[in-house]
Structure 1
Amino acid sequence: MTMPIYLDYGATTPLDPEVAAAMAPWGVDGFGNPHSAHMWGYKAKAAVELAREAIAALINAPVESIAFTSGATESNNWALKGVLTAPGQTRRRIVTLATEHSSVLETAQYLASIGAQLTVVPVRADGLVDAGDLARALGEDVALVSAMAVNNEIGVVQDLAAISRLAHGVGAVFHVDAAQGFGKIAIDVEASGIDLMSITAHKIYGPKGVGALYRRPFTVITPLLHGGGQEDGRSGTLPTQLIAGFGVAARIAGQRMAADHAHALLLRDRLLARLRVPVEVNGSLDRRWPGNLNLSVPGVTVPLLKQLPGLAISSGSACAAVTGRPSHVLLALGLPDAVAKASLRLGFGRFTTDAEIDAAADQINAAVQQYLEERA
């Protein structure tokens, strides 16, 4: 059986060979605990700190502001729970957007179930939040505002600096879920006024199972994991091998950011040009990471994934694929349930070729035309 063409970069990216090579020494031989006071520990700690420096440099952050976690889901949980349960915290309201990742929305809903208050702000039909709507949702009781940098399903890029100004205007902490934005778009935590930011390695050609939380100095949050107190409150032995890979992935992402963006843009435009069937792009096409293309086909109201066995793509978030429910992101844009279920999310990036894009377009054209002919 021929392997499907991988166009699910939004779910995870392939491991860059240079990253894999950097991780290799920290398996069998470099097994030391980076918190141990001996040669093996010192070597592992040096690798961890080198990675921390690379990640901090990519977002213009102090090195000590980066705390490693298991991924963006843990970082999101830590940010939201940490702010709401911080010592002396008297504010009880969280404000977030309707199109956020489930790890933000469900964490916020959990906090609401134990006494917090939650305000979910709608977005426009293009997936971007209206500044007026957000401003009207804010008040002196808001502890935290959380917004995604690049949406995982529709790729739209929110105006982080504008959201930060509104959040700080009422004295709230501003958290960004940058799982899909870190290493792909330029994010300067100082210039954008970001207080907390969640990032992960496996969206930038790094390993799965490792991420980080950026915390602006003097931003007070309660630890999520208690124990040995590693990582300034995030307890647990650090996975040196994964972190070493994360650091190299961040360094490569910084070096290749412009080239990766240009490559993704060319691929996206090539795919759209080769589609012979009418499609509608879900979410703003202008304010968007070009490696994401979320499409609806007018007249198609059944999922097309089964008709596209030659493509590894999705109809929404990989995290929500098992539920069978329509994407909450597409519903928030105003799409009907059936259209949301039938939409396709294509993700491509560093290792995607022109030939793969051409073959994908041909397969989509054939599947849609067959469906429409059968319905005629």
Structure 2
Amino acid sequence: MKERETDLKDPVTKAIQRRVSVLQLAEVLGNVSEACRCSGMNRTSFYEWKKRFQTQGIEGLKNLPPIHRTHPQRTPPAVEAKVIAASLDHPDWGCLKLEACVKSQGIHVSSTTIQKILLCHNLGSRPQRWLRLEKKYLMEGLPLNSEAVRKIEQYNPCFKERYTAVNRPGELLAQDSFYVGTLSDLGQIYLHAVVDMYNSFAFGLLYAGRAPKCAVAVLRNQVLPFFREKKIPVGAVVTDNGREFYGKETHYENFLALNGVKHRRPQGRNPKTNGFIERFKRTVLKEFFLIAFQNKFYNTVEGLQADFDVWLAAYNYERPHLGYRNFGKRPIDMIND
């Protein structure tokens, strides 16, 4: 008796009995659709189980064994490694050229398989291969030729700044101001942002304007006090040619001179030369301001600044940065190190 109860509780036996009962019900009713509706089985499955029962009997109503995760025809890891190496040696080549390349090395892999290998390793597109090549060279300390530099600059706006020698926190800061949104009573709101080019540590103040005094305020109220507390000297600030930095009023340049900070100007009409601030601009607009203005109504700059400060604290103190200088560290870790 106990053995029979055990058999009835067996999941395999239960599944077989359920499928047999559906087949019997369809035969009694003479209506497959009604039998499937009563049992909760779709018609495709019903006909599949019926066919297997007719050809294999009760054994055909058992579940098939699971498919192995490792397919016997899978490309060997050594071959995958050579395909990846060839794709990084020639990032602009397509799968047909890569197929011919590895074939010359005695490796016979189809272009379709090569595409699958590249996709599995996040190398399916040309930009992905160029940026992976850049990371490889940065990790191994090898130089890039002029063609590689030109291509990487095309796919990565802030690449040019990577060759700016920055050896410590505070040595070189990037500053800019940009439009983030409009408040009904105040008009257009601008974020005056500063980013440390050594570790991506960022500062920002919101103002209803782009006057030189606003650009000075973020340095006076946030940047310089922070570095003084850390006992880190500030070397220079790089900005674009905006009026807040180079206008008729010389408040900004006078303030930097009084604090012993140099002022550097990048190449005009080329955002790549100030790539750090451009990358921060894209991040903050996408991850904070776009979401904030959609989910909440702001009628004061103070309210928007308070929410922005919360996001910025997470950006600086909690969020790992996967850039070429931080390599997964938080900006505050780079400063403390």
| Rg larger for | 2
Write 1 or 2 for the structure with the bigger share of helix: 2
| TM-score normalised to structure 2 length | 0.26
The higher-RCO structure (CA 8 Å, 6+ apart) is: 1
Alignment TM-score, normalising by the size of structure 1 = 0.24
